[in-house]
A and B are shown apart, each in its own frame.
Chain A
Amino acid sequence: MGKITNEELLKKINMQFDGQLTVIGEPFGLLTLETTREKIISILSWLKTEPSLQFIYLTDITAIHYPEQEKQIGVIYHLHSLVNNVRIRIKVFLDENDIHIPTATTVWDGANWMERETYDFFGVLFDGHPDLRRILNVDDMTAFPMRKEFPLEDPNRVDKKDYFFGR
């Protein structure tokens, strides 16, 4: 594990952003926090520039869809502090009808394609992104295929239904 523990990390974050982040947990030692879209960019840039933390490496941006939740779409950031060798995961949940979040390209150049991919598959609109187009799917596609309501294959197909297998 890293040079600073998750408790220290959490204490530092809470000193700077008191009450603006909630702890989801520490699955497999990876501190997971949740925040709001108003705060996300200031938190990300603080984490990057704070000399004792230096989360300079943006590992990944992706999203997840929970259709049964009130805020359906979660945007997930993975950061890595190469100096302290500690990772952190930050989630922001968004309402499907107001799916805007500020872009992280202002903090890292590498966020560009990661956000385009997230937009392409989940329809998350990154405000201020320089070039928010689809990236892997065709330009004239209308659906966002990684959402749960989008079927993988023909929805009329019955031969793979669970009840044939006693489930």
Chain B
Amino acid sequence: MQNHPVYSDNDPQNELSTLNLGPTHPATHGVFQNVLQLDGERIVSGVSTIGYIHRAFEKIAEHRPFYQITPLTDRLNYCSSPINNMGWHMTVEKLLGIETPKRVDYLRVIIMELARISDHIICNGVLGVDTGAFTGFLYMMEHREAIYEIYEEVCGSRLTTNIGRIGGFERNFNTIAFNKLRKFLKDFPPVLKEFESLFNRNRIFVDRTKGVAEVTAEQALSFSWSGPLLRAAGVDYDVREMEPYSSYEDFDFEVPVGEKGDVYARFLVRNEEMWQSLRIIEQALVKLEKEPTDIFHADVPEFYLPPKEEVYNNMEALIYHFKIVMGEVPTPNTEVYHSVEGANGELGFYLVNDGGRSPYRLHFRRPSFINYQMYAPMSRGMLLSDAIINMSSLNVIAGELDA
């Protein structure tokens, strides 16, 4: 990595031009700045500047009780916030030793896989837009809306969901939610199929993406890549399969793996992951039929807020409500690392607890942050237009990058 080109001009003949790509540029899809040195249209060197929307979540988390940290995790990867929410809940459940019922696990799996699909819809749709095809993006966006409507039925909000609670969900799924889910499962596969037939063998798209930004498995591992990017480079690392959480071991799914790690391989891996997610959701719906329909949270009154009407009428519920809100429930004095397969890769939570009401230290292992650091080094020698496509296919989300 080189020094900042703005500060040190290593171009004696003054033949290179400096270009500020970002921080606000329509092609970067977020707040990313890259100071590039260009020789014609080829990138000679680049330096990424990040931190434009840094909000000090780790510091804020040290001052908040566990259940108030969930809204912070929403704002990490805001394209798939349910995965962040549930990853955080599972971390706390691991710390407190809470066993969730199978039905909660399956409901979580459904929501997490919907979130993965909605994230991949954005990434692959935008990749199409950047190569000049707006149609696919709009076709797919309609179905992201359907996913957001399912969230809305379950938790009331759409983008920053704050879905679920420590121990399960705040309320049971209603029939409308299941009906919308079944409608989505019926409507979405033909659209995804159409999307694939529009792109997979499209001459323009393949020419623009194939062989662009190739990454070997060794490079990807050395840069600690994870998620679809690492799998596109040929390493079959998926947290869902390696260290199953939320009963993923009950499901039958495949981990798609690419070969060359180029933009085209990443596109194909993401598309295939959407098919696998649909498969998982369908299996989860079948499994749910065997579970009792009234269970939606674990039986942990010390950590799960009682329903409001009970707080007013029931002594026990009032005590628990008070204890939870005032943070007077003792928690273990230990440390825990828990990771989930986010839409962009391994989303880890490293929580050090000292027994108090808020974490002593909380660190987010954010896949976008770690994936993005290869962007500037790998752009060297690339055409500017290819670098734009490469950034889209990395699917870096500014909120997750800057925390």
Contact = CB atoms under 8 A, between A and B. Distances in A.
A27 B403 CA distance: 26
Given A136-B54, A137-B51, A137-B54, A30 B373 contact: no
B34 to A, nearest CB: 14
Given A27-B334, A60-B365, 8 more contacts: A28-B336, A57-B224, A59-B348, A108-B222, A110-B225, A110-B370, A135-B51, A167-B326
Interface string A77-111: 01000100101010000000000000000001110
Contact of B337 (A87, A112, A121): A87
A114 interface: yes
Given A62-B350, A78-B337, A165-B326, A112 B235 contact: no
Interface in B388-403: 402-403
A85 B98 CA distance: 24
Given A59-B346, A108-B224, A30 B54 contact: no
B369 interface: yes
A56 B221 contact: yes
Interface string A126-154: 00001100011110000001100010100
Contact of A131 (B1, B63, B219, B243): B1
Nearest to A114: B370
B50 interface: yes
A88 B365 CA distance: 15
Contacts of B63: 152
Contact of B223 (A109, A130, A167): A109
B232 to A, nearest CB: 16
Interface string B59-91: 110110000000000000000000000000000
Given A76-B350, A89-B337, A135-B50, A28 B94 contact: yes
Given A59-B348, A135-B50, A152-B62, A112 B243 contact: no
Contact of B335 (A27, A109, A145): A27
B105 to A, nearest CB: 18
A113 B94 contact: no
Given A85-B243, A110-B223, A145 B56 contact: yes
Contacts of B225: 110
A113 B373 contact: yes
Contact of A64 (B50, B60, B348, B352): B352
Contact of B348 (A60, A130, A131, A138): A60
Nearest to B97: A28
Nearest to B346: A59
Nearest to B237: A82
A114 B224 CA distance: 10
A55 to B, nearest CB: 11
Nearest to A148: B62
Contact of B402 (A76, A112, A136): A136
Interface in B128-173: none
A152 B62 CA distance: 9
A121 B61 CA distance: 15
B315 interface: no
Interface of A: 27-28, 30, 32, 56-60, 62, 64-65, 76, 78, 82, 85, 87, 89, 108-110, 112-114, 117, 121, 130-131, 135-138, 145-146, 150, 152, 165, 167
Nearest to B339: A59
B394 to A, nearest CB: 14
Interface in B310-366: 326, 334-337, 339, 346, 348, 350, 352, 360-361, 363, 365
B363 A60 contact: yes
Nearest to B63: A152
Contacts of A65: 361
Contact of B3 (A30, A131, A167): A131
Contact of A30 (B1, B337, B374): B337
A145 B55 CA distance: 12
20 contacts: A27-B335, A27-B336, A28-B334, A59-B224, A59-B346, A59-B365, A60-B350, A64-B360, A78-B348, A82-B242, A85-B243, A109-B219, A113-B369, A113-B370, A113-B373, A130-B1, A135-B50, A136-B50, A145-B56, A152-B63
Nearest to A76: B350
Interface in B267-296: none
- Among A58, A59, A85, the most chain B Cβ lie within 10 Å of the Cβ of A59
Nearest to B3: A131
B196 interface: no
A52 to B, nearest CB: 18
B60 to A, nearest CB: 7
B361 A64 contact: yes
B58 interface: yes
Nearest to B403: A136
A87 B51 CA distance: 29
Interface string B25-62: 00000000000000000000000001100101011101
A113 B336 CA distance: 23
A106 to B, nearest CB: 11
A30 B352 CA distance: 13
